[in-house]
Amino acid sequence: GPSRGAPAAPGRDGLPVPGAGAPEPGAAPAPAPHPAAAQIVDLLAAKGARLAELEGAGGMDAARALDLCAEALGDCAEIARDEGGVVADLIDEAVDLMVLLQLEGSRSALSDAVALLCQVRCEGEACLAA
């Protein structure tokens, strides 16, 4: 009688193409393009309010307030480094500036430091709006 023959090898068409389900290399599936910026804006808003409170109470010396500013920026730098990009570069520059202001430790350095934090926050908000 007719020979049965070997079982048919699965056709190429039936095989899943490796990596077919993966998103395009350039595609970012994340809903928020700048989660770091959002966190930074929130963090600086909170720190800013705290600084204003302390300064308003008059119970704060410039050096202590500058430490708080530097601490806030340090936290921001950590958040930004995870994401990289524009926000991280911006924060790194601000951190360098903050170090100089801390060394100065004067009242005017404190005003500059607070302005710097506001600037970083505004840049973060600009990233979010973009």
- Using pLDDT thresholds of 50, 70 and 90, give the confidence band for residue 53: confident
User: Distance between CA 69 and CA 75 in Å, rounded?
Assistant: 10
- Using pLDDT thresholds of 50, 70 and 90, give the confidence band for residue 101: very high
| Token pair recorded at residue 124 | 């973060």
Q: φ and ψ at 12, to 5 degrees?
A: -55, -35
- Give percent above pLDDT 90 in the chain: 37
Q: φ and ψ at 9, to 5 degrees?
A: -70, 140
pTM of the full structure: 0.68
User: Residue 100: CB partners within 8 Å, gap ≥ 6?
Assistant: none
Contact 122, 77 (CB under 8 A): no
Q: Does residue 9 have a pLDDT over 60?
A: no
| Token pair recorded at residue 13 | 């068409």
* Residue range 39-52: mean pLDDT, rounded: 87
User: Distance between CA 104 and CA 98 in Å, rounded?
Assistant: 10
Contact 54, 102 (CB under 8 A): no
What pLDDT, on a 0 to 100 scale, did the predictor assign at position 57?
67
